[in-house]
Structure 1
């Protein structure tokens, strides 16, 4: 599989997205050809929030869809948990949002979306991920 798809090299070497998640992303997206951007994949994986509304009178909270690829969502969840623990940028983001009073699961879902956007950026540029956070001090 590593030799068959060049996307594996870039997606698997992204910080805290490992082989199993990279394989699942490649299989789900058909080599990153079924989805044109990361937002479509986030919607498919069930991590994109949707507004609940009915006309002009009912405005509910935004929630994620339950019609999702559960296997991909669980892999992204594990990546987000390890990213929150080991990636300083995500750890600072998580701590900052919790101090603002945000729900922990909401922030974890945001981290899942950030990971998907990073994977798509790496695949579209065909370059390895460069963590610019460590240079910005």
Structure 2
């Protein structure tokens, strides 16, 4: 028996969404997780906490968008202030 507020169907992307842009952001987030030390650490920390992988990837997309917006707003190139962790 289903109760109110529960949706048991497959999650779908909205028809109003810009799907090619969403795909590019997802691919960029996956690449950033592999190559950026701080985003890789964020991803592993959140997934270790038990968060859903797609939720964490969407959060990485959001972080990338914020970084791009900050560069555009300041009219300067991106500067990576994080030094790589040496172990």
* TM-score over 0.5 for the pair: yes
1:77 pairs with 2:77: no
CA shift for structure 1 position 134:
1.4
State the partner residue of 2:59: 110
Deviating beyond 3 angstroms after TM superposition, the runs of 4 or more aligned structure 1 residues are: 57-60
Q: Secondary structure at the match of 1:105?
A: helix
For residue 89 of structure 1, the aligned residue among 38, 41, 44 is 38
State the partner residue of 1:21: none
Count the aligned residue pairs: 79
CA shift for structure 1 position 64:
8.5
Please give the alpha-carbon distance, in whole angstroms, between the structure 1 residues aligned to 2:12 and 2:73.
Answer: 26
State the partner residue of 2:47: 98
State the partner residue of 1:133: 82
CA shift for structure 1 position 130:
1.2
Q: TM-score of the superposition, structure 1-length normalised?
A: 0.51
Please give the alpha-carbon distance, in whole angstroms, between the structure 1 residues aligned to 2:12 and 2:68.
Answer: 20
CA shift for structure 1 position 58:
4.3
Question: Tell me, which stretches of 5 or more residues in structure 2 are unaligned?
Answer: none
The CA RMSD measured in Å over matched residues stands at 2.6
Larger RCO (CA under 8 A, 6+ residues apart): 1
Question: Tell me, which stretches of 5 or more residues in structure 1 are unaligned?
Answer: 1-56
More strand by share: 1
